[in-house]
């Protein structure tokens, strides 16, 4: 079902603007549901409100209604910060403007979207009160900024249930502005395997495996292979060696949970390409080459250095948790002394990263690519290396080069940097 599509695979559409310009009314009109509370009192929306839906022809999307960026006072400052966090995971921005309200707030937001290369549609709301000025429309036309005039308060549907003309025009504008990489989503593994070929997926069933189902990266990889007309064999790490011996032809790829890298590498013949789910997701959700650079920063770590471990989901840690126990243990052994690990979860991600020597991120399966790229960019701007779970595990266990073999450009970057070259 479309409503079961994970958040990380949905187009994230953020709704921004001043207080009381009609952001919540617009969300209700688009979804034709009373999702957000609507009031004439400014500041009614306090925290971001999320609404997943299927919006054809875009498909599965996630609308995020934010608090006004002009909120005031100590509590208002916190609301604004929450709203600005949404920008980092926004694939498409709707900048809502009240009648005649264009000013520094709107200009600042527009420039922020443009600088971060976030597609934006300006929604000129309350056209029933006053039409948008010809000067503003001319300026938006000159700068090639898409805009639509609407009356969100009138609702989103006609008596027969069909969308109003305003909402239809807004949907067309959103479709035109949607990023190409969402409409033409990159593969996870299918391009590495090919139609009619198969991969072996190694899936440990341990304490962190959810009862009765697989974890999200495994499920998404299986679906990606099927979509690419490939197929797969799913085994636990203890059955891998026997499974490979039983096959009449070699798989194009073996993919393992990063925690089982060493055993899987030992049981997989050298001529069969091997990588990890987390490495696949470094490419799928982020920037593999940048995170390869980050993994190599392990060589510069010294006892006492601070390391930030970031997870996009908010699961409850268990015994032998990968981010809190296993990775710290492997890195401590590699460095030869105690390191200082700090952890964040969900949408929390430090604005000031300057005190960290390395950021280690999860595979980001529960968030979208825009959010992951925003975090990578923030690290790059502050000269803090960033990598992810699978890459840092492979590096600390001494099988980094093998894990990169399916990705020639990333492997070449690693070899060049290791040889002392600059890229």
User: How far apart (Å, rounded) are the C-alpha atoms in residues 355 and 374?
Assistant: 19
Please state the rounded mean pLDDT for residues 99-122: 89
Query: Can you name the residues that pair with 256 across neighbouring β-strands?
Result: 202, 276
Q: What is the pLDDT of residues 256-269, one digit of tens each?
A: 999 899 999 999 99
Please state the rounded mean pLDDT for residues 93-107: 87
Of all residues in the chain, what percent are helix, strand and coil, respectively (each to 5)? 45, 15, 40
Nearest to 97 by CA among 47, 51, 132: 132
Whether 1 has a pLDDT exceeding 50, the answer reads no
Please, what is the average pLDDT of the chain?
Answer: 86
Whether 73 has a pLDDT exceeding 50, the answer reads no
Query: Which pair of tokens denotes residue 285?
Result: 């959700």
Percent share of the chain, pLDDT over 70: 86
Topology of domain 286-418, CATH: Rossmann fold (3.40.50)
Greater model confidence, 246 or 4: 246
Is residue 361 a contact partner of residue 261, using CB atoms and an 8 Å limit?
no
Q: What is the pLDDT of residues 354-405, one digit of tens each?
A: 999 999 999 988 888 888 888 888 898 899 999 999 999 999 999 999 999 9
- CATH 3.40.50.11410 range(s) for the chain read 286-418
User: How far apart (Å, rounded) are the C-alpha atoms in residues 88 and 84?
Assistant: 7
Topology of domain 2-183, CATH: Rossmann fold (3.40.50)
pLDDT of residue 208: 64
Helix (H) or strand (E) holding 52: strand 49-55
Residue with tokens 């995170």: 291
Is residue 211 a contact partner of residue 179, using CB atoms and an 8 Å limit?
no
Q: Give the 3-state secondary structure of 132-163.
A: CCHHHHHHHHHCCCEEEECCHHHCCECCCCCE
Query: Which pair of tokens denotes residue 76?
Result: 């208002």
pLDDT of residue 315: 63
- The residues, any chain, with a CB within 8 Å of residue 121's CB and separated by 6 or more, are 92, 93, 94, 95, 146, 147, 148, 170, 173, 174, 177
CATH no. for 190-278: 3.40.50.11420
Whether 205 has a pLDDT exceeding 70, the answer reads yes
Nearest to 399 by CA among 307, 266, 286, 205: 266
Q: Which of 66-80, 136-150, 361-375 has the lowest mean pLDDT?
A: 66-80
């Amino acid at each position: 079902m479309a409503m079961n599509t994970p958040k990380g695979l949905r187009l994230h559409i953020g709704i921004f603007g001043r207080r009381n310009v009609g952001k919540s009314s617009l969300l209700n009109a688009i979804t034709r549901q009373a999702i957000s509370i609507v009031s004439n009192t400014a500041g009614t929306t306090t925290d971001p409100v999320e609404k997943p839906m299927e919006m054809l022809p875009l498909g599965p999307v996630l609308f995020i209604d934010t608090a006004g960026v002009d909120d005031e006072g100590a509590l208002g400052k916190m609301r604004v910060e929450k709203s600005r966090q949404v920008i980092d995971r926004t694939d498409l921005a709707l900048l809502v403007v009240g009648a005649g309200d264009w000013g520094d707030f709107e200009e600042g937001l527009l420039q922020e979207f443009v600088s971060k290369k976030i597609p934006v549609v300006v929604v000129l709301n309350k056209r029933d009160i006053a039409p948008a000025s010809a000067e503003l429309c001319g300026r938006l036309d000159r700068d090639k900024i898409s805009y639509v005039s609407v009356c969100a308060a009138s609702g989103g549907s006609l008596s027969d249930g069909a969308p109003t003309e305003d909402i239809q025009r807004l949907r067309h504008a959103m479709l035109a502005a949607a990023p190409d990489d969402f409409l033409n989503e990159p593969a996870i593994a299918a391009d590495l395997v090919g139609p009619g070929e198969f991969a072996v997926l190694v899936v440990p069933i341990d304490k962190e495996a959810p009862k009765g189902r697989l974890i999200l990266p495994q499920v998404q990889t299986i679906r990606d292979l099927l979509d690419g007309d490939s197929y797969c064999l799913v085994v636990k790490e203890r059955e891998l060696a026997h499974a490979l011996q039983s096959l009449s032809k070699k798989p194009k790829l073996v993919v393992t949970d990063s925690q089982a890298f060493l055993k899987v590498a030992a049981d997989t013949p050298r001529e069969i390409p091997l990588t990890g789910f987390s490495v696949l997701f470094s490419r799928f959700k982020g920037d593999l080459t940048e995170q390869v650079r980050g993994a190599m920063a392990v060589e510069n770590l010294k006892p006492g250095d601070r390391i930030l471990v970031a997870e996009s989901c908010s699961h409850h840690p268990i015994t032998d948790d990968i981010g809190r126990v296993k990775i710290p243990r492997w890195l401590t052994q590699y460095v030869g002394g105690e390191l200082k690990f700090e952890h964040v979860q969900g949408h929390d991600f430090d604005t000031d990263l300057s005190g960290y020597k390395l950021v280690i991120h999860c595979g980001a399966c529960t968030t979208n690519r825009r959010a992951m790229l925003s975090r990578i960019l923030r690290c790059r701007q502050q000269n803090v290396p960033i990598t992810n779970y699978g890459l840092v595990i492979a590096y600390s266990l001494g099988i980094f080069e093998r894990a990169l073999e399916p990705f020639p450009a990333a492997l070449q970057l690693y070899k060049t940097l290791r040889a002392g070259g600059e890229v």
